[in-house]
Chains A and B, each alone.
Chain A
Amino acid sequence: MVDLDKAQEIIAEYTSLPGGVLECLHGLQGVFGYVPKETIDLIADGFNISRAEVYGVISYYHDFRTSPAGRKIVRICQAEACQAMGSRELTERVEEILGIQTGKTSENGDVTLEAVYCFGNCAISPNLEIDGKLHARVTGEKAAELLKGENA
């Protein structure tokens, strides 16, 4: 069960912020790990917009999700500078290590693998991020080391 009182409390922090819907969604996702569908009504009420608008915003942005992610979030940069240093092969290797495709969460809920288009760390590519910690110049071997024990 989602703690709706907690959600209401978070939403209330942002409703007086001009244009604060994105900040509010970041706030909710920061606490719950995702934006629970149950909070959409509360957001709509708080910002005085329609449910459809709230849902439209959530679905528009790559960052927001409406269901929980894995306990660990792995993200690999898929943009050009990382491609030039082998991110395509690295991605395949990581998918193999984790046993999931990019964009998916493992069945046991251990790990989610996501694509990112540039971390701004392009001089030392390819880049891979694990739970918010960025690692540069990642080889297949280094990825295996970093992700040891993560596969389902």
Chain B
Amino acid sequence: MTITIYIPRDTASISLGADDVAKKIAELPEDIKIVRNGTWGMTYLEPLVEVETEKGRVAYGPVTVSDVDGLYKAGFLSGADHPLCQGLTQEIDYLKNQERLTYARCGLIDPLSIEDYKNNGGYAGLKNALEKSSQEIVDDVTTSGLRGRGGAAFPTGIKWNTVLAAEADQKYICCNADEGDSGTFSDRILMECDPFCLIEGMTIAGLAVNATMGYIYLRSEYPLAKEILNDAIRIAGQNGYLGSDIQGSGKEFNIEVRIGAGSYVCGEETAMLESLEGKRGMVRAKPPLPAHVGLFGKPTVINNVLTLGSVPVIMEKGADYYKDFGIGKSRGTIAFQLAGNVKCGGLIEKAFGITLGDMINEFGSGTFTGKNIKAVQVGGPLGAYIPPEQFDMPLDYEAFQEAHAVLGHGGIVVFDETANMKDQAKFAFDFCAIESCGKCTPCRIGSTRGSELIERGDFKLMMELCDLMDTSSLCAMGGMTPIPAKSAFEHWPEDFKK
């Protein structure tokens, strides 16, 4: 009998040797079928090799090439015990304690098998959407409470409604797949491990606002995602899920992938539009909103990968189903990403409301180095550094805002006690100087001055500069750079004296 083995093919697994492990396992003298699935997001266990058994999929990880012979001798092909055995995949606490809606298929399926996709709930949302009017789809998304997952947390339904109401001969859906924040990789995982989910979400968005063309603006640092997305788009087209007559409905939608060129600020939505138009990625002043005057001057929906990727489940299971997850005005689930100096780094999809401390200690199991935690930066390079005293903060948009912090794209970067917060504050300015689009002075020049002031030890002037950047920058790049710098100075002043 053929034995089915799953070995992930995502950037993280491959960077830890998954391809070599797959090759080695394929050479075993048995009848083996290897499926290159996506990752479950338990990055700390990668490469995670799963064997299909009568009881279910049994997981072994992290597996290196040199482990394969030992695993074979121990009988892993029949799910036998071994020091690397993690038991049944579905029973691993890290996974079991999540609430998987958007990532329900990640890890489970072969990312490029449209049959796998459909057999696991895929395209059920589109089917429902095709039976609804545009307004009904938009209303469902509004009711679900979905807010943009790219950082600003703007209600998606309101954005879509604006584009739906706009009169134009052509409208666009632009998927923001720039994922420039350090500590974030959830967009990458969804694109690499369940690309049809994003494609379906974009298609539903197209139906919702009467757009026939979608672009995915993908960062150049993600070459594997590019390959997988392009394959998936081709396969979706061959199966009548993209093109001029989607599933015989007479509706049209097409998707193209465009590649960025290494610029953080091109993740800002208007800079992204400029870049998509083939220009320098400079931020545009608003108004006009992209919903009115967007790509090539046409009304455009701009959403993050996960915002769009959450739409299929909302259309499949209903707006209320989605809304019932979460707390307050933060509805549904969010993909947290544990990164940096953390023992069990990876992706955790959870309803809003879990505390930062639970996330880091229960899922993350503390630091990788085993030393005490000094700080965590949440929400990317423009997010605050948070000390352990504040770990009881619930992870939801409002609680973070109140604490002058940002949840952003859900990235959580852990630093142990060896971190120097003055260095981190200086880096915030240096990064802003490198990535500033140059349109406004506080950001273009202020970032360099900020870095110098830290070197020089003039923190009073640094704080004044922070206030200036905060109030007079055109976009959040200059406007939010003060957040990491100020939080570092406020919570760890001793580091600045050295």
A residues contacting B by CB (< 8 A) are 18-23, 25-26, 47, 53, 56-57, 60-64, 79-85, 88, 116-125, 127, 132, 134-137
Contacts and interface: CB of A to CB of B under 8 A. Distances in A.
A143 to B, nearest CB: 14
Interface in B425-441: 427, 431, 434-435
A22 B258 contact: yes
A41 B244 CA distance: 37
B370 interface: no
B14 interface: yes
Interface of B: 11-12, 14-16, 43-44, 46, 179-185, 187-188, 219-223, 258-264, 275-281, 296, 337-342, 345-347, 368, 377, 381, 411, 413-416, 419, 423-424, 427, 431, 434-435
B262 A80 contact: no
Given A124-B15, A124-B46, 19 more contacts: A62-B261, A63-B260, A79-B381, A82-B340, A85-B341, A85-B368, A117-B182, A120-B179, A122-B183, A122-B184, A123-B12, A123-B43, A123-B44, A123-B337, A123-B339, A125-B340, A136-B12, A136-B15, A137-B16
Main secondary structure of the interface of B (DSSP, over half): mixed
B279 A57 contact: yes
A135 B259 CA distance: 22
A127 B221 CA distance: 12
Counting from the closest, the 4 A-B pairs by CB-CB distance are A123-B345, A21-B278, A84-B340, A61-B261
A116 B264 CA distance: 11
A18 B296 contact: yes
A124 B58 CA distance: 23
Nearest to B42: A123
Contacts of B381: 79-80
13 contacts: A19-B296, A22-B261, A26-B259, A57-B278, A60-B281, A61-B260, A62-B262, A118-B183, A121-B15, A121-B185, A123-B339, A123-B347, A134-B14
A84 B12 CA distance: 18
A118 B183 CA distance: 8
B339 A125 contact: yes
A10 to B, nearest CB: 15
Nearest to A134: B15
B260 A56 contact: no
B279 A21 contact: yes
A68 B419 CA distance: 37
Contacts of B377: 80
Contacts of A20: 278
A81 B259 contact: no
Contact of A84 (B46, B187, B278, B415): B415
A49 B381 CA distance: 35
A84 B262 contact: no
B263 A61 contact: yes
Contact of A123 (B220, B278, B346): B346
Q: Which of A21, A47, A64, A119 has the most CB of B within 10 A?
A: A119
Nearest to A20: B278
B39 to A, nearest CB: 10
B46 A117 contact: no
Contact of A118 (B221, B281, B341, B414): B221
B381 to A, nearest CB: 6
A120 B185 contact: yes
Nearest to B259: A26
Contacts of B434: 117
Nearest to A47: B278
Nearest to A49: B278
